[in-house]
Structure 1
Amino acid sequence: MGRIRPDAVLVQAVIAGALSFAHLHDLAAAAGQDGWKAWAYPISVDLLLVAAWRRLRNDGPSRLAWCWFVIALVASLGANVATAGFLDLQHPPAWLRFGIAGWPALAFLGGTLLAHTRSAAEATDPAPRADVTPAPDPVPDSASASASATEPTATSHELDASLPVAVPPSEPPRPAPAPAPVPAALVAHARKVADEHRARTGEQIDTDTLRARLGVPPQLADSIAAQLT
C-alpha cells in the first residue's frame, strides 16, 4: 500500500476556499441575510465560479464564460476585502444591501446562460436530417400477373443479333461536398489540443482522437483536421 503524500496545492486550495466561504457568509449576514440564507450565498458564488471555469475548460475561451467567471471572482474577492475592515459591517452601506439582495437573481441568470447557451462547436453542427423512408415497390395484382404470364414472349430467332447493344453512358462523378465552415476560435482551440497531444505522445493527433477531445461530429472534425495539417 503506497504512502499518502500531502499535496501542498490541494491544502492551499482547501484553506482558501474555507476562508472565502466564511467571508461570504459574514458579508451576507451583515447585510441582513440571517440563518440558512447567509450560508446559501457562498454556495451560490462558488457554484457560479465553477460553472464558468468548466465552460472555459470544455468549450474554450468565450465572452460569456469569461464574463460570468469575472463576476463570480469579483464577488468572492470583494467579500474577502470587505470583511478585512474596509467596511463597517455593523452599519453596512445601502449599496451592499442592494448587491446582496440582487445576487440570487444574477447568479440564476448566469447559471442558466452557461448551461443552455450553445458553444462554438455546437453552433456549427448542422441540424440532423429527417430519415426518408423509400416508397415500397408496387405489387402487381393477381389479374395483371396472370395476364403477363399468358402473353407470348419473343423467341431468339426474332431478335436481330446484328444490332449493337446500347450501353448507357456512365454518370460523371459527383463533386465532393464542401467542408463545413469552422470558426477561427474553434480551430485555435483544436490547434492547442493537437500541440498538447504531440508534446505528450510525440505523435501527430489523429482525427478520431481530435473529435473525442473536442466533442464535435465527424464531418466537423475532418474539416478541423484538414486546417491543422
Structure 2
Amino acid sequence: MRVQLARVDAVIVQAVIAGALSFSHLHDLADAAGQGGWKAWAYPVSVDLLLVASWRRMREQQRAGQPAGGARLWFLIALAASLGANVATAGLLDLDDVPASLRVVVAGWPAVAFFGGTLLAHTPRTPDAPTATMTPETDTEPALVPVDAPDRDALPAPTAKPDLDRESPTTHVANATPAAPAVTLPPALIDRAQAMAEQHRATTGLAADPDDVRARLGLPPSMTPSVAAHL
C-alpha cells in the first residue's frame, strides 16, 4: 500500500512540475507576443484545458468503439501549441523581437480554442454503448436453445412414462438411483446451474436443457443427470 501511494505521489509531483513549466513558457510567449496583463495568464489555461478536454473525449470515444478523429485532431493542436511555446522560449526565439507571424498566431489562438472547445462540448456522448454490449447476449442465447432444447426436452418424456407405469416400485427406486450423483456436485456448480436455467427461462420463456447447462459449465456428458436433478 505504501509503495503504491509513493508511486502515485511521484506521478502527481512530476505532473505538477511539468505543468508549471509549460504554463510558464506559454505565459512568457504570450506576453512577448503583445498579450500582456491577465491575457498572458489566460493563454496557458486555455491551452492546457483544451489539451485535457480533448484527451478525455478521445478516450471516451475509443472505449465506446467510436471514431475519435475530431478529438485526436484538437489534442494534437493543443499539444503543438504547448510544445511550440516550450521550444520557442528555450533560446531559439528572441522574445524582445517576436516575428509578426507569431503575433498573429498568438492573437488568433482564442478563436481557435473556443471553436475546438465548442465542438468537443457538443460532440454527442456514448449512451449507445450498453445496448451494443447487450445485443450479442440477446442474440447468442436464443441461438443456443430454441434449436436444440425442444428436441432434447421431448425425448425423455416418452421413455420415462412407460418405465414408471410398467415397472414395480422397486424398479422405480432403482431407476431413480442415477440421480444420486447430483449430490456430488459442489454447491457453487449447483448455484451456477440454477442461475443459468433461471436466466434462460426469463429470456426465452422455455425451460433450460440440462445438457446445454452441463456443456456451458464445462462438465462431461455423464454429469447431465446430476445437473438435471438440480434444475
Q: Specify the TM-score bucket, using the shorter chain as the normaliser.
A: 0.5 to 0.7
Distance across 2 between alignment mates of 1:33 and 1:92: 12
Distance across 1 between alignment mates of 2:18 and 2:42: 18
**Given the superposition, is the C-alpha separation of residues 106 and 99 from structure 1 closer, same or farther in structure 2, using an over 3 Å criterion?**
same
Distance across 2 between alignment mates of 1:90 and 1:68: 30
Match of residue 101 from structure 1 = 107
- Unaligned 5+ residue runs, structure 2? 142-231
- Displacement after TM superposition at 1:56 (Å): 1.4
Paired residues for 1:37-186 under 5 Å: 37-60=39-62, 62-119=68-125, 121=126
Distance across 2 between alignment mates of 1:10 and 1:53: 18
**Given the superposition, is the C-alpha separation of residues 228 and 46 from structure 1 closer, same or farther in structure 2, using an over 3 Å criterion?**
farther
Q: What amino acid sits opposite 1:96 in the alignment?
A: L
Distance across 2 between alignment mates of 1:228 and 1:25: 57
**Given the superposition, is the C-alpha separation of residues 224 and 92 from structure 1 closer, same or farther in structure 2, using an over 3 Å criterion?**
farther
Match of residue 182 from structure 1 = none
User: Quick check: which one's helix share is greater?
Assistant: 2
1:111-162 CA-to-partner distances (Å, cap 9, x unmatched) read 000110225x4xxxxxxxxxxxxxxxxxxxxxxxxxxxxxxxxxxxxxxxxx
**Given the superposition, is the C-alpha separation of residues 54 and 219 from structure 1 closer, same or farther in structure 2, using an over 3 Å criterion?**
closer
Match of residue 216 from structure 1 = 128
- Displacement after TM superposition at 1:217 (Å): 6.3
- Displacement after TM superposition at 1:103 (Å): 0.2
Match of residue 183 from structure 1 = none
Could you say which structure has the greater relative contact order, defined with CA pairs below 8 angstroms and 6 or more residues apart? 1
**Given the superposition, is the C-alpha separation of residues 14 and 218 from structure 1 closer, same or farther in structure 2, using an over 3 Å criterion?**
closer
SS at match of 1:7: helix
Q: What TM-score results when the alignment is normalised by the length of structure 2?
A: 0.53
Distance across 2 between alignment mates of 1:73 and 1:106: 14
SS at match of 2:48: helix
1:22-61 CA-to-partner distances (Å, cap 9, x unmatched) read 0000000000001000000000000100110110122215
CA RMSD of aligned residues (A): 2.5
Distance across 2 between alignment mates of 1:108 and 1:55: 16
**Given the superposition, is the C-alpha separation of residues 226 and 103 from structure 1 closer, same or farther in structure 2, using an over 3 Å criterion?**
farther
Match of residue 28 from structure 1 = 30
Distance across 2 between alignment mates of 1:90 and 1:49: 28
- Displacement after TM superposition at 1:95 (Å): 0.9
SS at match of 2:94: coil
SS at match of 1:41: helix
**Given the superposition, is the C-alpha separation of residues 221 and 36 from structure 1 closer, same or farther in structure 2, using an over 3 Å criterion?**
same
Task: Give identity over the alignment, percent.
Answer: 63
* Matched residues, number: 134
Q: What TM-score results when the alignment is normalised by the length of structure 1?
A: 0.53
- Displacement after TM superposition at 1:219 (Å): 3.9
Q: What amino acid sits opposite 1:23 in the alignment?
A: H
1:196-226 CA-to-partner distances (Å, cap 9, x unmatched) read xxxxxxxxxxxxxxxxxxx436543322557
- Unaligned 5+ residue runs, structure 1? 122-214
Distance across 1 between alignment mates of 2:136 and 2:120: 25
